Structure 1
Amino acid sequence: MSNTISLKIGEWMYQNIYGIYKPLYFLYKKRTEKFEIDLIKKIVRPGDVVLDIGANIGFYTMIFSEAVKEKGKVFAFEPDPKNFHRLKNNTQYLGNVIVENKAISHQTQTIKLYSSELNVDYRTYAHPDSQNYTEVQAVSLDDYLREKNITCVDFIKMDIQGYESFALQGMIETIKKNKHIKILSEFWPYGLQQSGKSAITYYQQLSEYFSNIFLLQNHQLKKILPDEIQHLKNSPQHYYNIFAYND
């Protein structure tokens, strides 16, 4: 079965038989992203403050909630109204989780989210398969944390369909104040390019503030250098994850 057909089936199940979709989706994530999950469980500690940017329906939010325990806190950001509703339901009994129906951007503003006919994700750029859009509230992370009087952040997970470069621009103050902070981010060359940035631009942004940048590949961490970025596949089907931190 082609990847496109699988995505369309997943989209149909999400929209029409969510009760069946959810456990299958969670099982799929546990199997295909086991390395990422194990990395999170190794790094995130009780009492940590975690930001889940692009929380979707809360798969990783729930993992973070369990990891930080009752003394920690998880802030989960999801701009899509339907995803947010399901995120809220999935985390309603988790006392250490705060959910926000917002996008994270380089500044506080209203942005357009374009729906994809291939899967349940939304994007910030128009595309032939993204005909419909929803206007949502976006906020810079620095603005949000300043307003909430949150000064310490330990871990950030970002998966926002190529918009990561813009989001990073809005959290520089937070990163500078928290030298120990670690970021696990989707690294999708095609999506970054479609959003108006590029893979190398995002890498260079990260390298300004983090001494170590690793690519998660073949169930291991591989340190990635600038000249290797251009060799990563740039297509809608090729996603990567990167992990950034300081010594």
Structure 2
Amino acid sequence: MKTATKIAIARALHDVVRFGRGMAGRPDKGLFSRRGITYELDLSQGIDFAIYLGGMFEWTTSVALARLTEPSSLVLDIGANIGAHTLHLASLVGPNGRVMAFEPTDFAFQKLKRNLDLNPQLGSRVETFQCFLTAGDEVRVPHAIYSSWPLTAETGLHPKHLGREMQTDAAQARSLDSVLAERADRRVQLVKLDVDGYECDVLKGATAMLRDQRPVFVMELAPYSLEERGSSLDELLSYFVPNGYRFYTLLGRRRLPSTASQLQRLVADGASVNVVVRADR
């Protein structure tokens, strides 16, 4: 399903929920508990609203993360946004595990920090980084990156996924390898990667991790987003295939093609699929 279609459905549901909450004198913003985790949510935002609906935000990804995350491990949440998966990962790694969460936009990073503060037991397992992961620490940070999906009528949204770009004023450019050299205390076991077309930027700065640690990836595959950033599926594959990685369906564990042309046919224009990328050992 295309992202725009998902947003259209969410907007229709939000109109119903907002009307019902308004009749009861309840605003769109507030504290909500879902699956034992407390969030501060703005129901006019797509990710927040999906969490409000009972953990429906990328639930198949959540199932895959639960299957693949090892207790006491180090996992990375790259493109953490407001923490929908970050807090889930913190619960999965347990008290002896660690999560490193990366989010470049001021808008989402502040919401991420707030949601971690609301869950101190889980938040203590998470280290946050407001940075744009790329080839090196001196690369220019894009002035704005998509991290908001409003459910109210607005102008200036992305024509395909209906997101809004948000400022990155406080973000630093870092390579993932340099961050890990400074802060990692163990091998990276799993990476959740969802950065709306900037995947190749992240991987350019992660060559040592890919070569030496070879963690499992749970990631979004959106060819149109890659192309918008001047990248391609061919480039994405060039980081994985030489390091022994193969692509698999998110839940079915069926192996997918490892050529760009074949993968391209699996994803409609304006759509994305989440996949598991795992190295053959």
> Which of the residues 249, 252, 269 maps onto 1:220?
252
Structure 2 residue aligned with 1:124: none
Q: Which runs of 5+ in 2 are unaligned?
A: 19-26, 31-41, 151-157
> Which of the residues 95, 101, 104 maps onto 1:79?
104
Structure 1 residue identity aligned to 2:92: A
Report the Cα distance in structure 2 between the residues aligned to 1:112 and 1:91, rounded to whole angstroms: 26
Matching of residue 24 in structure 1 with residue 57 in structure 2: no
TM-superposed CA distance for 1:111, in Å, is 1.1
How many residue pairs get aligned? The number is 234
Matching of residue 239 in structure 1 with residue 272 in structure 2: yes
Asked whether the 8 Å contact 1:113–1:133 carries over to 2, the reply is yes
SS of residue paired to 1:112 = coil
SS of residue paired to 1:91 = helix
TM-superposed CA distance for 1:26, in Å, is 1.0
> Of the two, which has the highest radius of gyration?
2
> Which of the residues 188, 200, 205 maps onto 1:170?
205
Sequence identity of aligned pairs in percent? 23
- Which is further off, 48-57 or 219-228? 219-228
Q: TM-score, normalised by structure 2?
A: 0.72
Structure 1 residue aligned with 2:216: 182
TM-superposed CA distance for 1:50, in Å, is 0.6
Runs (4+) of structure 1 exceeding 6 A deviation are 7-10, 127-132
Output one character per residue of 1:3-27: Cα deviation in whole Å (capped at 9) or x when no partner. 56457787xx9xx944352763214
CA RMSD of aligned residues (A): 3.0
Report the Cα distance in structure 2 between the residues aligned to 1:223 and 1:4, rounded to whole angstroms: 29
* Shift in alpha-carbon separation, 1:132–1:182, aligned structure 2, 3 A: closer
Report the Cα distance in structure 2 between the residues aligned to 1:43 and 1:4, rounded to whole angstroms: 28
Structure 1 residue identity aligned to 2:50: Y
Q: TM-score, normalised by structure 1?
A: 0.81
Structure 2 residue aligned with 1:146: 181
Asked whether the 8 Å contact 1:145–1:151 carries over to 2, the reply is no
TM-superposed CA distance for 1:113, in Å, is 4.1
SS of residue paired to 1:71 = coil
Structure 2 residue identity aligned to 1:143: S
Pairing of 1:62-211 with structure 2 (within 5 A): 62-92=87-117, 93=120, 94-108=123-137, 109-114=139-144, 119=149, 134-135=168-169, 136-148=171-183, 150-179=185-214, 181-211=215-245
TM-superposed CA distance for 1:117, in Å, is 10
Asked whether the 8 Å contact 1:8–1:118 carries over to 2, the reply is no
Output one character per residue of 1:32-70: Cα deviation in whole Å (capped at 9) or x when no partner. 633321221122121100110000000100111001111
Output one character per residue of 1:67-106: Cα deviation in whole Å (capped at 9) or x when no partner. 1111110011111112111100111212111111112112
Q: Which runs of 5+ in 1 are unaligned?
A: 121-126
Which protein, 1 or 2, shows the higher relative CO under an 8 Å CA cutoff with sep ≥ 6?
A: 2
Report the Cα distance in structure 1 between the residues aligned to 2:237 and 2:82, rounded to whole angstroms: 28
Asked whether the 8 Å contact 2:249–2:255 carries over to 1, the reply is yes
